[in-house]
Chains A and B, each alone.
Chain A
């Protein structure tokens, strides 16, 4: 990629050091729990030990006797204001606090308000709740059987646990293709329930100012504007009006999708602040975070691939059961109950495809958020990359060769997929070939053959994924009806410096740096002189927030477009200053000069000064612009990953020896930050592949509800990553970029699974479920008679 600006300006392509880092490395970040307000009270939550139980009584007497405990809020308290239920992002309903029964373990039952967090915790211990346990539904397949205990008895006409059926594709044509197929492979695959486990948990400070009637909520949210509107819609009947609601999302300690939903704790703290008239802080602890906040995944998939004997894939069919827990609280665009799962044809030119997903209620926490991935894309990519390998294994073809044979050829872009997407750009073969070259693929295959002869278990796994990120366009994408555009507002100060505000919210992605670089690229103002702000709904333009890798495709694009509006006005001012016609001016980074007379020019700084001191008569003073950008399409980043594993025959431990990631996210703003995003994504891809899972016993007791049981990788398990890139710009994005924050989370898991299966393929193994823990792998080794 060509770099057009100097390091001083640091536009696109510069690995500029991050502007946000000085505060973080000094411990001067400002996260929600760092904020102390005068008179602030603390909230702690009583949670259910049962997964399904009637609440017979809640006795708050002992709790209220504790000095410093001021109030105990129950479902009955909220019911007075009709706030005991709330809508989910998928237009389902979810309890804020229960009145009749609880439907998952660790569900919020009551909240204690006290003068300190220690006393609030004492209060929680003193609240006495009498439960009557009910039959528990844990297995989503059993949940859909006739006669299963109905969980959502709150819904008048609901007689079962089925949430939705969704399907896409041509069923008849796909069935015909399967009937005519020379080869068919099938695989069931479970993608377990996991948790984003951002190191900062969720929380808020709700501060209702009784005098002015204004509510300010400092909140760990990835989408502050949408939250404000939801608050106004949900609590309008108790007098909260949108102009008097201010959501502030300060520094956020990691989001990964887990900070998109509205959790009951936010609503209870807000209600408590309105009633008590004091700021209320609620910060969940790690166990509450893992046990009650939105989960990710939990997809039970059955996939079939039809092909010719030469390896040409002809059709794909996938049937999925999605376990949504007790409510459909997925964070998907409204029209997509299964997210963007229909990207499941992946990187391959598959003529016929059909996919269907059914959602089921179970006695588990609600959710279905992403885990550093676009909506349900990880599940889709895992499945297609697995069955592609299984087909290669069956046909005794090299998995790289099979992929190269079936890739959508680069001449076919923009490409219409069988399930309805228009892929914007791609060159899949180039990425895979580069990965193979970088890792030394033929030599690895040779080494593997030698090791296999000696009885050693070594595997090489490939994943060639296609992501789908950057929602809108708004004609298809909305959240609760709010269209998924995003926004930027730029103001140029008289001295040529700038402030820009965006509708998104960084949670570590580095927006303060990359957005400044976009503006530097477009206007020639040094990125160091562009201040970026996000997350305060009183000041930032309306936007849908940061998740699903949408910031660069949407708000980043808005930044470039707003800057171009400013450049248009700057051109008129420059023409006025140079006493020429605007048509006679040419732009080069940071200045307009007269065509044919380059010595006659005005810098952006001179123009900015003139915008406030010497602007043309008839023109408005000032130099600023706003853009609400509605993308014409999504962006489709892609890549090819190759993973090399060694398996210990004594312990079953999988060791990632090498991992080569070639990514293509189009044009790059900051290579250093992109690499960092990929490193992190790879690690969050490795985590569920090898370690993480939240499961439940038959009584609905959570297994994996603390960091003692939920194994987040440390520096020891995580390998040193190798990265490279190809650059295939998006043709429709203003500066040719695509999203990148989640590509690696999507692409990495099947590369690791394919490597493990490859290491065991000579033993007849065709599939291994995740997480591939030492125990799970060791059992396979034992069964195959190769455990030491």
Chain B
């Protein structure tokens, strides 16, 4: 067993883990952060995308021990103080998800993309999400969702001041 210490969504954790344990299983099964999903075994699908020290990585291709001393951000860490992140808001507004299984990975990959390029055009969004597969949406509204987020972030017009719980008519 190996001792690891890492910060996940701002909280410090220390655990003894098997050296072979994947980061995605550490997040899902040790920390019960089940928002990060597993969709393949060959790092194609991107459902497990998280931020490791600010960079989008596929958590099925990182060992938990490799994250020792690092900071991890998962989909559960996107909303702050009960307010949705503009990307979450964009996915909801633009119908950027259907079954929801790829969504956490898409959100985190998009988060990583916007950190390096806050104003991506459509091509840059598609290229930035190339490592994430979605079967339901045809990516059409995912692109629109990211565009929605870039717009609200640039304009500071995010609606997230409203309680994120509200479900209402568009």
Query: What is A's interface to B at a CB cutoff of 8 Å?
Result: 7-8, 10, 14-29, 31, 33-34, 36, 117-118, 196-201, 251-256, 285-287, 507-510, 527-528, 672-673, 675-677, 679-684, 706-708, 712, 714-716, 718, 720-721
10 contacts between A and B (CB under 8 A): A14-B169, A17-B168, A26-B75, A31-B34, A254-B98, A508-B100, A528-B168, A675-B141, A707-B40, A714-B126
Judge whether B42 and A708 touch: CB under 8 Å: yes
Contact of B88 among A26, A117, A720 (CB under 8 A): A26
* A254-B99 contact in complex given A10-B169, A26-B76, A715-B129, C-beta closer than 8 Å: yes
Judge whether A27 and B74 touch: CB under 8 Å: yes
Judge whether B41 and A287 touch: CB under 8 Å: yes
B85 CB, nearest partner CB in chain A, Å = 9
Judge whether B18 and A31 touch: CB under 8 Å: no
Complex-state Cα separation, A458 to B34, whole angstroms: 47
Judge whether A712 and B133 touch: CB under 8 Å: yes
Contact of B98 among A118, A196, A285, A676 (CB under 8 A): A676
Judge if B36 is at the interface, Cβ distance under 8 Å: yes
Judge if B8 is at the interface, Cβ distance under 8 Å: no
Interface centre among B79, B88, B100 (most CB of A within 10 A): B100
* A26-B79 contact in complex given A197-B135, A287-B41, A680-B137, C-beta closer than 8 Å: yes
Judge if B14 is at the interface, Cβ distance under 8 Å: no
Judge whether A672 and B126 touch: CB under 8 Å: no
Complex-state Cα separation, A682 to B99, whole angstroms: 17
Judge whether A707 and B45 touch: CB under 8 Å: yes
Judge whether B170 and A508 touch: CB under 8 Å: no
* A720-B143 contact in complex given A25-B103, A706-B42, C-beta closer than 8 Å: yes
Given contacts A286-B42, A675-B141, 15 further A-B contacts (CB under 8 A): A14-B170, A20-B100, A23-B100, A25-B107, A31-B34, A34-B34, A251-B100, A256-B135, A286-B40, A508-B99, A679-B138, A706-B40, A707-B42, A712-B44, A715-B139
Q: Name the A residues within 8 Å of B129 (CB-CB).
A: 714-715
Judge whether A27 and B127 touch: CB under 8 Å: no
Chain A residue nearest to B144 in the complex (CB): A720
Chain A residue nearest to B105 in the complex (CB): A199
Q: Name the B residues within 8 Å of A286 (CB-CB).
A: 39-42, 45
B96 CB, nearest partner CB in chain A, Å = 9
A597 CB, nearest partner CB in chain B, Å = 31
Judge whether B164 and A17 touch: CB under 8 Å: no
Complex-state Cα separation, A507 to B100, whole angstroms: 9
Q: Name the B residues within 8 Å of A199 (CB-CB).
A: 37, 39, 45, 47, 99, 101-102, 133-135
Interface centre among A10, A16, A24, A287 (most CB of B within 10 A): A24
B25 CB, nearest partner CB in chain A, Å = 8
Judge whether A198 and B99 touch: CB under 8 Å: yes
Complex-state Cα separation, A118 to B37, whole angstroms: 17
Judge if B84 is at the interface, Cβ distance under 8 Å: yes
Contact of B44 among A31, A684, A708 (CB under 8 A): A708
Q: Name the B residues within 8 Å of A18 (CB-CB).
A: 92, 95
Judge whether B102 and A721 touch: CB under 8 Å: no
B51 CB, nearest partner CB in chain A, Å = 13
The proximity string for B residues 130-170 relative to A, scoring 1 for CB distances below 8 Å and 0 otherwise, is 11111111111111000000000000000000001101111
Complex-state Cα separation, A33 to B93, whole angstroms: 28
Complex-state Cα separation, A706 to B43, whole angstroms: 11
Judge whether B34 and A27 touch: CB under 8 Å: yes
- For chain B, residues 22 to 69, give those with C-beta under 8 angstroms from any C-beta of chain A: 25, 28-29, 32-42, 44-45, 47
Q: Name the B residues within 8 Å of A714 (CB-CB).
A: 126, 129-133, 139
Chain A residue nearest to B146 in the complex (CB): A715
Judge whether B103 and A7 touch: CB under 8 Å: no
Contact of A21 among B29, B79, B92, B131 (CB under 8 A): B92
Judge if B121 is at the interface, Cβ distance under 8 Å: no
Complex-state Cα separation, A8 to B18, whole angstroms: 53
Complex-state Cα separation, A684 to B74, whole angstroms: 29
Complex-state Cα separation, A509 to B125, whole angstroms: 25
* A27-B35 contact in complex given A199-B101, A254-B99, C-beta closer than 8 Å: yes
Q: Name the B residues within 8 Å of A287 (CB-CB).
A: 41-42
Contact of A510 among B84, B88, B98, B170 (CB under 8 A): B98
Judge if B20 is at the interface, Cβ distance under 8 Å: yes
Judge whether B41 and A253 touch: CB under 8 Å: no
Interface centre among B21, B36, B135 (most CB of A within 10 A): B135
Judge if B112 is at the interface, Cβ distance under 8 Å: no
Contact of A680 among B74, B125, B135 (CB under 8 A): B135
A738 CB, nearest partner CB in chain B, Å = 19
Chain B residue nearest to A7 in the complex (CB): B169
Complex-state Cα separation, A715 to B75, whole angstroms: 21
Complex-state Cα separation, A20 to B91, whole angstroms: 12
Judge whether A676 and B95 touch: CB under 8 Å: yes
* A716-B127 contact in complex given A7-B169, A22-B167, A199-B135, C-beta closer than 8 Å: yes
Complex-state Cα separation, A715 to B105, whole angstroms: 14
B82 CB, nearest partner CB in chain A, Å = 10
Complex-state Cα separation, A29 to B34, whole angstroms: 8
* A25-B91 contact in complex given A20-B100, A507-B99, C-beta closer than 8 Å: yes
Judge whether B135 and A198 touch: CB under 8 Å: yes
Judge whether B143 and A200 touch: CB under 8 Å: no
Q: Name the A residues within 8 Å of B78 (CB-CB).
A: 26
Complex-state Cα separation, A10 to B167, whole angstroms: 12
Complex-state Cα separation, A509 to B127, whole angstroms: 27
The proximity string for B residues 96-121 relative to A, scoring 1 for CB distances below 8 Å and 0 otherwise, is 01111111100100000000000000
Chain B residue nearest to A251 in the complex (CB): B100
B16 CB, nearest partner CB in chain A, Å = 14
Complex-state Cα separation, A333 to B132, whole angstroms: 35
A-B pairs, 7 with minimum CB distance: A27-B35, A253-B101, A508-B99, A24-B100, A683-B138, A508-B98, A27-B75
A137 CB, nearest partner CB in chain B, Å = 29
Complex-state Cα separation, A626 to B169, whole angstroms: 27
A12 CB, nearest partner CB in chain B, Å = 13
Contact of B137 among A196, A200, A507, A679 (CB under 8 A): A679
Judge whether B126 and A254 touch: CB under 8 Å: no
Q: Name the B residues within 8 Å of A29 (CB-CB).
A: 35, 100-101
Judge whether B170 and A17 touch: CB under 8 Å: yes
Judge whether A715 and B142 touch: CB under 8 Å: yes
Contact of B103 among A24, A198, A675, A681 (CB under 8 A): A24
Q: Name the A residues within 8 Å of B134 (CB-CB).
A: 199, 715
Q: Name the B residues within 8 Å of A28 (CB-CB).
A: 35, 76
Complex-state Cα separation, A31 to B107, whole angstroms: 18
* A17-B133 contact in complex given A34-B34, A254-B101, A683-B139, C-beta closer than 8 Å: no
Q: Name the B residues within 8 Å of A16 (CB-CB).
A: 169-170
Judge whether A33 and B38 touch: CB under 8 Å: yes
* A716-B126 contact in complex given A25-B92, A199-B99, A510-B98, C-beta closer than 8 Å: yes
